[in-house]
Amino acid sequence: MPLPSNTLSIAVLPGDGIGTEVTEATLAVLEPLAKRHGIGLAFETLRAGAFCYRDTGTAMSEETFARAAKADAILLGAMGWPEIRAADGTEIAPQLDLRFRLNLYAGVRPFRALPGVPVALADPRARDIDLVIVRESTEGLFFSRDRGTVTHDMAEETLRITRTVTEKLARFSFGLARQRAARRGRQGTVTLVDKANVFRAFAFMRGIFADIAAEYPDVAHGAHYVDAMALDLVRRPWAFDVLPTENMFGDILSDLGAGLVGGMGFAPSADIGDTHAVFQPAHGTAPDIAGKGLANPTATILSAAMMLDWLAGKGAGQGFADAAAELDAAVDAAFAGGLRTPDIGGADGTAAAARAIAARIGSAGG
């Protein structure tokens, strides 16, 4: 059958461990979805990650990088394996190279309580959790990757915050809050998460956010220290909307966010730049459950919905936006209808979860 005229190319990097399992499950859901909406997705699977490094000496070849960069979007499973390490003792993480080399400064990590999925807090307001961490993903402390110095007596790493990237991060965050406000019918709020009480770099970041906030008078704006935010994300997570933050803080707080709404299997993410984007779950390769068919593919499936939505925003057409909305709705409907993955105490493994979600396509609305 010929591909539809609006066919886009998707580079698929399944990676390691459960990365391969959740990716396979996601492709199984995307195929019927694309068919139903008449959108074309041409997948090209590429190898990269820790096991690729072990077998070939390279975590992601230049050819793989070039093919991924040429695709319309990149869908990634997860990469890394604790026992496979570079000579400096750090893990193999080519997903970081994608973020740095493609300037994917906005790490968008939404957290929402899905219907039927148990949340960590007993307070009934926890069912209203609907926040997005926007993790700056190209600098901050991660700027120091491959640059840190280690001697026998001392190790030193450097945190970098630049005006250019911070301005982009701020505009992205305020724009996102505005979009969400329109959808949710209430005012948007951007709360910068920093450590401006101690570090000049964060006082600098705060100043830039305050300047950009003036361009968005319809969006409320505040700032919170990261330690207090860790407390408040447990105490009143329903009170927050868009939370931009430095790279390392965002890495840590996003696992906390996942813990609030059912675990890592419910934490999608998108690393977005001006021209490219990578869509992947916020979780890792989960060596403790890899190879057992137990991984929850929801985070990756929701990341794929973010991909379709991003492609629609880039002009791919209404079919992509409709497909994204329907995929989100299918996930909600599947859980509302009784889907229970092992991470929340159920018996529906990776393939069963994908089947349950695929079965809602065409019947979940959207």
Give me the least distance between CB of 255 and Mg ion, in Å please.
6
Q: Which is nearer to ligand NAD, 205 or 270 (CB)?
A: 270
Give me the least distance between CB of 327 and ligand IPM, in Å please.
22
Contacts with ligand NAD, residue ranges (CB under 6 A): 18, 22, 78-82, 91, 95, 263-265, 280, 283-289, 295-296, 299, 343
Give me the least distance between CB of 66 and ligand NAD, in Å please.
21
| Contacted by 324, from ligand NAD, Mg ion, ligand IPM, none: CB < 5 to 8 Å by type | none
| Contacted by 295, from ligand NAD, Mg ion, ligand IPM, none: CB < 5 to 8 Å by type | ligand NAD
Note whether 133 and 250 are within 8 A (CB).
Answer: yes
Question: Cα dist. 181→176, 226, 234 in Å?
Answer: 8, 24, 23
The enclosing H or E element of 135 equals: strand 130-136
**Judged by CB under 6 A, does residue 356 bind ligand IPM?**
no
How many CB atoms neighbour CB 337 within 10 A? 13
Could you give the count of Cα atoms lying within 13 Å of 170 in the half-sphere of its Cβ? 25
**Judged by CB under 6 A, does residue 281 bind ligand IPM?**
no
**Judged by CB under 5 A, does residue 241 bind Mg ion?**
no
* DSSP helix/strand/coil, 17: coil
User: Which residue in the set 251, 309, 332, 348 belongs to the binding site for ligand IPM (CB under 6 A)?
Assistant: 251
* DSSP helix/strand/coil, 227: helix
Residue 324's Cβ-count burial label (10 Å; 0-12, 13-18, 19+) is buried
Residue 284 to residue 163: CA distance in whole angstroms: 31
Residue with tokens 């070939």: 56
Closest residue to ligand IPM, judged by C-beta, is: 93
Which residues contact residue 296 at a Cβ distance below 8 angstroms, ignoring those fewer than 6 apart?
Answer: 22, 263, 265, 266, 341, 342, 343, 344, 350, 353
> Count residues contacting ligand IPM (CB under 6 A)?
6
**Judged by CB under 6 A, does residue 284 bind ligand IPM?**
yes
Phi and psi torsions of 296, nearest 5°:
-85, 120
Distance of CA 239 to the CA centre of its chain: 21
Q: Which is nearer to ligand IPM, 111 or 174 (CB)?
A: 111
**Judged by CB under 5 A, does residue 322 bind Mg ion?**
no
**Judged by CB under 6 A, does residue 282 bind ligand IPM?**
yes
Which residues contact residue 111 at a Cβ distance below 8 angstroms, ignoring those fewer than 6 apart?
Answer: 129, 130, 131, 132, 133, 237, 257, 258, 260, 261, 266, 267
Q: Which is nearer to ligand IPM, 23 or 189 (CB)?
A: 23
Give me the least distance between CB of 16 and Mg ion, in Å please.
15
| Contacted by 96, from ligand IPM, Mg ion, ligand NAD, none: CB < 5 to 8 Å by type | ligand IPM
**Judged by CB under 6 A, does residue 319 bind ligand IPM?**
no
The enclosing H or E element of 224 equals: strand 220-225
User: Which residue in the set 194, 246, 251, 309 belongs to the binding site for Mg ion (CB under 5 A)?
Assistant: 251
Q: Which is nearer to ligand NAD, 207 or 291 (CB)?
A: 291
**Judged by CB under 6 A, does residue 16 bind ligand IPM?**
no
Residue with tokens 């450590």: 195
Residue with tokens 């101690």: 198
* DSSP helix/strand/coil, 130: strand
Site string for ligand IPM, 79-118 (x = CB under 6 A): -x------------x--x----------------------
User: Where on the chain is the footprint of Mg ion (CB under 5 A)?
Assistant: 251
User: Where on the chain is the footprint of ligand IPM (CB under 6 A)?
Assistant: 80, 93, 96, 251, 282, 284
